[in-house]
Structure 1
Amino acid sequence: MMSSFPLVSFLITLMLAAAVCTQGYEPALDTAENPILTSAQYLIQPYSPRSNGGGLLPVPVKLLPLCPLGISQSSVTALPGLPVSFSYPYPLMDTYVNEGQAVNIEFRSEAWPGCEEFSKYWEVDESSSASEEPAILVGGKKRERNSWFRIERKENFVGGNAYKLTTLAGTIGTIPGPWENAPQLVLTNDTAKTFLVKFHKVHGDTTATTSTSRLEKLGLGMFPFY
């Protein structure tokens, strides 16, 4: 009978490698200056208090077909957006979301405007019809590289830190979207379009799906005119 020692040795090596991979990184911080956790949920919002919009919501990137959905900033400042959670594509012994490390971003809400056949993981559009500044879509896969994002500190501001989201291929920015020109998330190399964000923790630490607030339901009920 084959010994289980080689398997145990491999698992220990894998765990140690995962621990080493997280060393040297700083955890990204939320608006309360606490480390962002993989066990919690957050609203991704524009960092500037002068922003004329709210948080991020799933919205079609074109009239037809409506699916898969893209991601846009709400044009209504009072709408905080839908919560997201962060996770690592592969198991790591780290509960913090570290700056510069690849993570998956997933919407966590019971309210949804359709296209339920797609996952709620974010991804970069890599279809043959994608533009030079491809849209950030909903429908990604956890271990696909176009579903990997990084949080990078951009600058300090009063009361917290401004961050930008990046991928292996560029930076997440915004362009005027098809619905009332609401800012739509795209992959871009134009620094003038960089979307600076902050992370507001919601509902404490939980791995369960966040219950849908009245404002979230209102925003998705107004679809696509948020």
Structure 2
Amino acid sequence: MSSFPLVSFLITLMLAAAVCTQRPEHVLDTEKNPVLTTAQYLILPYSPRNGGGLLPVPVKLLPLCPLGISQSSVTALPGLPVSFSTPYVLMETHVHVMDYVNIEFRSEAWPGCEEFSKYWEIDESSSASKEPAVLIGGEKRVQNSWFRIKREENFVGGNAYKLTTLAGTIGTVKGPWKNAPQLVLTNDTAKTFLVKFRKVHGNLTATAPTSRLRMFPFY
């Protein structure tokens, strides 16, 4: 009996296993559904005891622009929604773990600095600190506007994630506005900002009225 059919079967089995191993893992939202580029999400702290969502806020008193990103210390304030996209046009609508994505605020309520885009970026200016701020004003195809979503292995359930870049991990430090947590690029694991993604259903404008947002009411 020829051994060719058996060898062929084994090769096919190995190739199938390799494909399954390399299949990209979906980023999941709080309802355990895949995160999509066609929807909007709130980025919230993984633990509900650790404050609310994210808002555009100045990173220093002067100049106010470009805006940075701070977390509300008020748990009930969910922040502004974001959308995810890829730096280059792809047909894929699912966001996968370790994909490079752009993150963009999606809200008509805005505190100012309208001349800047709403894409996130890492501050690469000459005045940036050792832990540079995450700012608003990025560009889709520029690498300092590329973020990755990585699942945190130490948490059961697979819904705790951290944001990373080519240069490090996104964490928080005390910001200039009443010490509200401010997003920065860091290599200090103690500062890592663990997050989850809640899909937006309907219009969130009412949760962040323009008049209040202009006063940075994230406390």
Q: TM-score range by the shorter chain?
A: 0.7 to 0.9
1:58-73 matched pairs, under 5 angstroms: 58-73=56-71
Distance 1:95 1:61 in 2: 33
Equivalent position of 1:42 in the other structure:
41
Contact 1:31 1:160 in 2 (8 A): no
Shift, 1:49, TM fit: 2.2
For the pair 1:165 / 2:157, whether they are aligned, the reply is no
Shift, 1:160, TM fit: 5.9
Equivalent position of 2:213 in the other structure:
220
TM-score (norm: length of structure 1): 0.83
Larger Rg over CA atoms: 2
Q: Percent identity?
A: 79
Equivalent position of 1:200 in the other structure:
198
Shift, 1:222, TM fit: 3.6
Count matched residues: 198
Equivalent position of 2:27 in the other structure:
28
- The one-letter code of the counterpart of 2:205 is S
State which of 75, 85, 89 in structure 1 corresponds to 2:87: 89
The secondary structure found in structure 2 opposite 1:203 is coil
In the superposition, relative to structure 1, how do residues 90 and 46 fare at CA in structure 2: closer, same or farther (>3 Å)?
same
TM-score (norm: length of structure 2): 0.85
Which sections of structure 1, spanning at least 5 residues, go unmatched?
Answer: 1-19, 205-210
1:1-226 matched pairs, under 5 angstroms: 24-51=23-50, 53-155=51-153, 157=155, 161-203=159-201, 211-217=203-209, 219-223=212-216, 226=219
Distance 1:212 1:224 in 2: 16
Deviations 1:157-216 (A, max 9, x none): 577610000000000000000000000000000000000000000027xxxxxx442221
Q: Which runs of at least 4 in structure 1 moved beyond 3 Å after TM superposition?
A: 155-160
Contact 1:68 1:139 in 2 (8 A): yes
Contact 1:31 1:201 in 2 (8 A): yes
Deviations 1:51-110 (A, max 9, x none): 1x1100000000000000000001211110000000000012211001001000000000
Cα RMSD after superposing both structures:
1.8
